[in-house]
Every structure is written in structure tokens, then in C-alpha cells.
Amino acid sequence: MIVVREFAGRRVLVLGLARSGLAAARALAAGGAEVVVWDDRPANREAAAKAGLAVADPAHEDWSQLAALVMSPGIPLTHPAPHPAVLAARATGVPVTGDIALLRRAQPDARICAITGTNGKSTTTALIGHILKQAGVPVAVGGNLGIAALDLAPLGAGGVYVLELSSFQLDLVEDSRFEVAILLNVAPDHLDRHGTMAGYIAAKLRIFAGQRPGDTAIVGIDDAVAAAIAEQPRQAALVRISGGDRAADVRVVGGMLTDAQGPVADLDLAPTLPGGHNAQNAAAAFAACRALGVGRDAIAAALPRYPGLPHRQELVAVIDGVAYVNDSKATNADAAACALGCYDAVYWIAGGVPKEGGIASLAPYFPRVAHAFLIGEAAPEFARTLAGRVPHTMAGDLPQALRLAQERAAAERRSGATVLLSPACASFDQFRDFEDRGDRFRALVTSLPGRRVILDPAESAA
């Protein structure tokens, strides 16, 4: 745990008691702050009270006595409407902050590599952490991925925090400095939270706000929005990265990761990084690790040993010649496109809570889909999009979809057949979160009958 001492002896309200909020409360209390907490969900307040935290309703607080409001990123700061506590803080001049800004001030001597983007954040974050660890650099990985920022170990000088940052977290970073800041891509997402696409882009751009000369800004140029951002003036050194664009400083051409000095590594030897989207992720990770002082050869050696992440094109099993891939993290169409582009005979399980725009943008990939099995709230909308273009079945739920997909794949016996869970939707209609959805898929696949290929552990997550 990172101890936050800047509010020692002063009263601080922590709003939101999920993973990052609880970590912030513990870190502040360990640093001598008088911490009070609140969550709009009664169950979370009761759990906090049982854990010994002081619960206080913001509506009854004397805001003149508060030194700070520490927000969990899931609580609305601006849209669709600010939380009442935010309005009270603004009215009384109480600073509003988040856990990432607290970490930055508590660990001024460590370096931070921050990663954002609509898609690819988690893989890039984990890959950078893997490379740094293989190179012997003291590193801690967390933020939006895995461990809450303030639950990470204190590193001090020489250490590197590798932090995945969502647009929600970036709303709260203030002017925090990130020595290496990465923007992978930008596509419409979370517009209900940011109000407009411009608001969403503005949140993403905050990752660069505190950078200084000598820092590094890494920007993907494979989509138009991010490419335009790369052209904006900045204090930090700019590195353009791409999964294929030869104009980039670090790029992948014909499967070969390349920089200005020439070829670095053949990504065909990295089985857990399939497809063009992972080519860009690898380029970003290379650029970041070079900026952090890791040699080209050390990076090249680490890439094939990257173990991958669950729920991101995770190869669960090959049964009777059919591959079963868990891509539950694909919660929007752009993310699903990355997976659909990797396979030629797809039995596609899609649906859940639809995102704005649906799946119309995936039309170029429809020829790869042998049959779609639609689940959840989005099923009727998706069926209308697929009508006359892709054979599809209204499967209702995940167990039924998987059963039908297995039966059809077995009957049709197509070369390269892949049953792909890549929902292009949020999960909250039928599951707790995308991880719950992916875990359920994995468990269902594990129980399927048939002759299995034994997978190399290094190839079990793609």
C-alpha cells in the first residue's frame, strides 16, 4: 500500500467505496488523515462500517472543514449530472481529486507510464509491465487494470508505475505528470458520461496535460482522431506508433516490429499478440519501454514470452478441431472488430447491453461470420443489422448460444472454425461485468464434450 500523508491531521471525504475508493480510504488513514466515507449504495456503506471506516453523509457535512473530496472514478463528475457532493465541493472551494493524483504526489521520485485509449489499454499495460519486469526494472502494474493504484507497493526512485487509465480516471488526474503517456486510439465510447465526443476526447487528452520537456508522448496514428491529436503541439517528445503505417516512428510491417534503426522482433513468434490491433499495442509497448531505458534486444526477447490476459482473445480450448475464444472484454464494436479480423470462419456470440452505433460498423467483417448467435438486450437490434447479410439465431443467453454454436460448427466442419465470444456490448443485463461473462464462457467451454488439443501454457491466452 502507498501511504498518503499530504492530508495528515485534516478531514477528507472519500466518495465511492468500490476497489479504488477503499484503497484511497486506507492510504489516507495510514497517512494520518481523518477519513470519512460515503457510497450511495447502502450495502457498500454497511460493509465499510463493518470494516471500521467512519461513514458520513455528504449532505450533512460541514464542507468548510473538509480538506479534499476524493472521488472514485465511477461517480459522475460532470455528466449526466454532477454528484451532489461535487456541487457542494465546488461551491465551497474544496479540491476534488482521485487516487491517481494522490499516488503521483505520494511517490514523486518514481516514474509513471500511463496508458489510455478506447481499446487495447489492458493488453498494452500488461505487456509494458511484463517487459519491464523481464528487464529487471522495479515495476508495479495497476490502475484501471487489476490492483487499485494506491494498493500498489511503494517504489521510490528507479521504480516505474504502469497504470491503465480510463477516461473516468483521467477526469480526476488534475495536472499530474506522467513521464511516459500513451494514447492508443479514440472511438466513440462512454458518451453518456462525457456528454459529447468532444468531452470524451478532452478527458483522454488529460493524460498529456502535466508532461514536461524530457517526457515522452506516444500516440497511435491508426485512427483519424488519434492521428489528429498526434499533430497537436506539446512539450514532451512525440513518438507516433502504428500497427502498419510506415509514417510512424514505431510500426509493424509484415509482422515485423520496426523502429528507425530497423527490425526489432517478428510478432509471428509472439502467439499471444494476434492481429493488427495487437501490432499497435506491441509498438506502443516497445516505444514506452525504450523511453524508460530498456534496450531493443531486451524488449525483443520479452515479447514472445508475454503470457496474455484473460478475456482478451483468450484461447480457452480447441475441441474436435474448433477453437473457442473468450473475448468478453470486447464491450464495443471497435473492440469486436479486432477479434473478428483475426479468424476466417467465425461462429460469433454477440450481444448484451448495446453501445451507441450498434454493430453496423462491423459490416466489413460480416463475410468472416459463418453464423451469429445473439444474446441479451441487443439481440433484436443486432438481428436487424445482420438481416440478409449474416445467418443468425436469437439464442437468448450464453449457455444456449454456446450449445448452438458448438452444434453448428460440428455440423458444418469448416476449416479454421472458431466459436468467438466477442459481444460488442456491455454485460450488465445478464452478468456482473465482462469478467463474470468471460468466466462463465470459460466454465461452459470447459464442460463441453469432445476431443481436445492440449494447449501450450504460453498459448492459452491470446
Catalytic (active site) residue 44: no
Inter-CA distances, 453 with 251, 320, 323, 443, 459, Å: 34, 8, 10, 17, 12
So where are the chain's domains? 11-97, 100-305, 314-452
Taking each helix axis from N to C terminus, what angle separates 99-106 and 19-30, rounded to the nearest 10 degrees?
A: 40
Choose the catalytic residue: 83, 190, 204, 277. Answer: 190
The alpha-helical segments, DSSP class H, found in 8-146 are 19-30, 42-50, 84-92, 99-106, 121-134
Mean pLDDT per block of 10 residues along the chain (462 residues) reads 98 96 97 98 95 96 97 90 96 97 97 94 96 98 94 95 95 94 86 78 94 97 94 96 91 95 95 88 98 98 92 92 95 92 95 94 98 98 98 98 98 97 97 96 96 61 36
Q: Which fold has domain 314-452?
A: Protein-Tyrosine Phosphatase; Chain A (3.90.190)
CATH superfamily placement of domain 100-305: Mur-like, catalytic domain (3.40.1190.10)
Residue among 350, 357, 356, 332 nearest 423 (CA): 350
Inter-CA distances, 104 with 149, 207, 347, 413, 444, Å: 10, 13, 45, 54, 42
Residues near 236 by beta carbon (within 8 Å), at least 6 away in sequence: 181, 208, 211, 212, 213, 214, 215, 216, 217
Catalytic (active site) residue 311: no
pLDDT of residue 78: 86
Q: What is the pTM of this model?
A: 0.83
* Architecture in CATH for domain 11-97: 3-Layer(aba) Sandwich (3.40)
Choose the catalytic residue: 119, 144, 326, 332. Answer: 144
Could you check whether 11-97 and 314-452 share the same CATH topology?
Answer: no
Q: What is the largest CA-CA distance in the chain?
A: 70
- Separation between Cα atoms, residue 455 and residue 10, nearest integer Å: 55
Inter-CA distances, 284 with 21, 126, 268, 348, Å: 30, 12, 17, 29
- Separation between Cα atoms, residue 31 and residue 7, nearest integer Å: 7
Radius of gyration of the chain, Cα coordinates, nearest whole angstrom: 23
Catalytic (active site) residue 121: yes
Residue among 227, 290, 298 nearest 260 (CA): 290
For the chain, the 3-state helix, strand and coil shares in percent, each to the nearest 5, are 40, 25, 40
